[in-house]
């Protein structure tokens, strides 16, 4: 067993929130990061990486590249009690403070090289396809469709969405503008329809929607929502604090169930705000400050920082290299102007700088090991 040291902070989950938390705490506490992957990804650059080789290696970053003191246990967490986290490799990790940052379920390989190969495979599938089917019309599906048609306007792209409008996380006006923009780029958008992909394989070329419409596509991508990764908490100390949607109930300090030494950040929390990467980072910074106080021995509740949920006042969806859809408090814009505001590299350079990683110049070609 990896024994605690009195200031041991165990972080379960190495996504954008867990990774940032580990980085900001490693010089202030004995930090252990438990993650089934040897790397973290910059999630908002994921889609660009599918079509742009220059982005790939800069967005998939080994934990060893940014953590200099923290320990990393490469495994799934499978259980937890009031002092120990159990892992899938049979290793027990003791903690003094615990942070749950497991986000949403995803199927990612353990090694960075294997993840880079997945991006290369996706790029080859897109490059080799004359027609592409995208299932899901949230931000991910809309952004992927835009990336493909802006890079390869000759391709036939069909987007199938099981709701009456795209982008339900945004307002109706933004949804209408996104639909108009996609159709202006010759993307076929089928609303209020679903596609059963249970028996589909990478070689499937013909798909039938719930309305009986046939869609032919050389490649298909599923961009629907994923469930919260809290199933492993059932039957544990924290199970009673999981709500019906799978989120952990947290208080204003982002502590789980009011427990003094257990926190949660990111998509797994029930914080009433959009589940976006930059907000998960904000939560991580609040927990980082609170844990530094607690490690130093702070006992007074009023000294702890509170997290203020972000109202949905603005949101941006990228539409290829140049365009974007921006929903602001008093207006909704689409086209080059909002596209010019968002950095060309999807905030990759800024995120790497936050993690203390020397940035490779944008445009550097990756290699697959």
The answer to whether residues 290 and 261 touch, using CB atoms and an 8 Å cutoff, is no
CA dist 255 and 238 (Å) reads 11
Query: Whole-model pTM above 0.85?
Result: yes
Handedness of CA 329, 335, 337, 338 (dihedral sign): positive
Same domain? For 100 and 27 the reply is: yes
In this structure, what token pair is assigned to residue 317? 């969806």
Question: Is pLDDT at 367 greater than 60 in this prediction?
Answer: no
Answer yes or no: is 326 within a domain: yes
pLDDT at 188: 98
The answer to whether residues 366 and 57 touch, using CB atoms and an 8 Å cutoff, is yes
Question: Is pLDDT at 356 greater than 80 in this prediction?
Answer: yes
Look up tokens 């702070």; give the residue. 298
Same domain? For 321 and 211 the reply is: yes
Look up tokens 């990393």; give the residue. 72
Q: Predicted confidence band at 54 (pLDDT cuts at 50, 70, 90)?
A: confident
What's the CATH code of the domain at 82? 3.50.50.60
The average pLDDT across 70-87 equals 97
In this structure, what token pair is assigned to residue 335? 């086209």
pLDDT tens, position by position, 240-272: 999 999 999 999 999 999 899 999 999 999 999
The average pLDDT across 193-215 equals 94
**Is 110 exposed, middle or buried, given 0-12, 13-18 or 19+ CB atoms closer than 10 A?**
middle
pLDDT at 365: 40
Same domain? For 203 and 241 the reply is: no
pLDDT at 311: 81
pLDDT at 31: 98
The average pLDDT across 165-181 equals 96
Same domain? For 319 and 297 the reply is: no
Same domain? For 250 and 265 the reply is: yes
Number of domains in the chain: 2
Helix locations, the chain, DSSP H: 16-25, 46-51, 53-59, 63-66, 112-128, 139-151, 172-184, 277-295, 336-341, 348-354
pLDDT at 348: 87
pLDDT tens, position by position, 304-346: 999 999 887 688 999 998 999 999 988 999 999 998 887 667 7
Answer yes or no: is 308 within a domain: no
The average pLDDT across 96-118 equals 95
What's the CATH code of the domain at 146? 3.50.50.100
Share of the chain above pLDDT 90, in %: 80
Question: Is pLDDT at 205 greater than 50 in this prediction?
Answer: yes
Answer yes or no: is 190 within a domain: yes
The answer to whether residues 321 and 148 touch, using CB atoms and an 8 Å cutoff, is no
Give the chain's radius of gyration (CA, Å).
21
According to DSSP, the residues that pair with 12 across neighbouring strands are: 34, 100
Backbone φ and ψ of 125, nearest 5° = -65, -45
In this structure, what token pair is assigned to residue 100? 């749950």
CA dist 209 and 232 (Å) reads 34
**Nearest Cα residue to 87 out of 14, 30, 35, 27:** 35
Answer yes or no: is 58 within a domain: no
List all residues 6 or more positions away from 318 whose beta carbon is below 8 Å from its beta carbon: 47, 48, 143, 146, 324, 339, 342, 346
**Domain carrying residue 332:** 112-225+314-355
Same domain? For 297 and 154 the reply is: no
CA 177 to chain centre: 25
The average pLDDT across 180-208 equals 96
Share of the chain above pLDDT 70, in %: 95
Burial 111-140 (b: 16+ CB within 10 A, else e): ebeebbebbbebbebbeebebbbbbbbbbb
Same domain? For 14 and 131 the reply is: no
CA dist 83 and 95 (Å) reads 5
CA 149 to chain centre: 23
Same domain? For 282 and 198 the reply is: no
Question: Is pLDDT at 366 greater than 80 in this prediction?
Answer: no
Q: Predicted confidence band at 364 (pLDDT cuts at 50, 70, 90)?
A: very low
Answer yes or no: is 94 within a domain: yes
Cα dihedral 64→66→71→73 (10° resolution):
-60
According to DSSP, the residues that pair with 263 across neighbouring strands are: 99, 255
Q: Predicted confidence band at 53 (pLDDT cuts at 50, 70, 90)?
A: confident
pLDDT at 359: 62
What's the whole-number average pLDDT of the chain?
92
Answer yes or no: is 79 within a domain: yes
Answer yes or no: is 150 within a domain: yes
Given the DSSP bridges, would you call strands 8-12 and 30-35 parallel, antiparallel or unpaired? parallel
Same domain? For 286 and 240 the reply is: yes
């Amino acid at each position: 067993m990896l024994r605690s040291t009195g200031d041991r902070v165990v972080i379960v989950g190495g996504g954008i929130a867990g990774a940032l938390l580990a980085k900001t705490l490693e010089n202030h506490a004995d930090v252990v990061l438990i993650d089934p992957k040897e790397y973290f990804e910059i999630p908002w650059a994921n889609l660009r990486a599918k079509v742009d080789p220059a982005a790939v290696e800069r967005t998939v970053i080994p934990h060893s590249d940014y953590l200099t003191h923290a320990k990393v246990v490469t495994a799934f967490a499978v259980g937890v009690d009031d002092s120990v986290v159990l892992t899938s490799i049979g290793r027990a990790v003791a903690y003094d403070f615990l942070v749950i940052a497991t986000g949403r379920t995803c199927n990612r390989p353990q090694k960075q090289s294997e993840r880079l190969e997945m991006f290369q495979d996706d790029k080859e599938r897109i490059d080799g396809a004359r027609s592409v089917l995208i299932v899901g019309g949230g931000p991910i599906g809309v952004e992927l469709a835009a990336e493909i048609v802006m890079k390869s306007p000759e391709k036939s792209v069909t987007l199938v969405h099981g709701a009456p409008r795209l982008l339900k996380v945004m307002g109706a006006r933004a949804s209408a503008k996104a639909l108009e923009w996609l159709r202006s780029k010759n993307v076929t958008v089928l609303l209020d329809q679903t596609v059963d992909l249970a028996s589909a394989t990478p070689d499937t070329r013909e798909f039938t929607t719930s309305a009986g419409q046939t869609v032919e596509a050389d490649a298909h991508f599923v961009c629907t929502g994923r469930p919260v990764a809290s199933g492993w908490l059932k039957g544990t100390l924290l199970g009673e604090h999981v709500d019906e949607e799978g989120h952990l109930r947290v208080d204003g300090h982002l502590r789980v169930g009011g427990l003094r030494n257990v926190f949660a950040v990111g998509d797994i929390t029930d914080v009433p705000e959009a589940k976006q990467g930059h907000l998960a980072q904000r939560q991580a910074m609040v927990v980082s400050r609170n844990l530094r106080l607690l490690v130093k021995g702070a006992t007074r509740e009023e000294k702890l920082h509170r997290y203020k949920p972000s109202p949905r006042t603005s949101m941006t969806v990228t539409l290829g290299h140049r365009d974007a859809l921006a929903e602001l408090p008093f207006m909704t814009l689409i086209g080059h102007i909002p596209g010019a505001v968002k950095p060309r590299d999807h905030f990759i350079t800024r995120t790497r700088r936050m993690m203390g990683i020397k940035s490779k110049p944008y445009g550097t070609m990756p290699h697959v090991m």
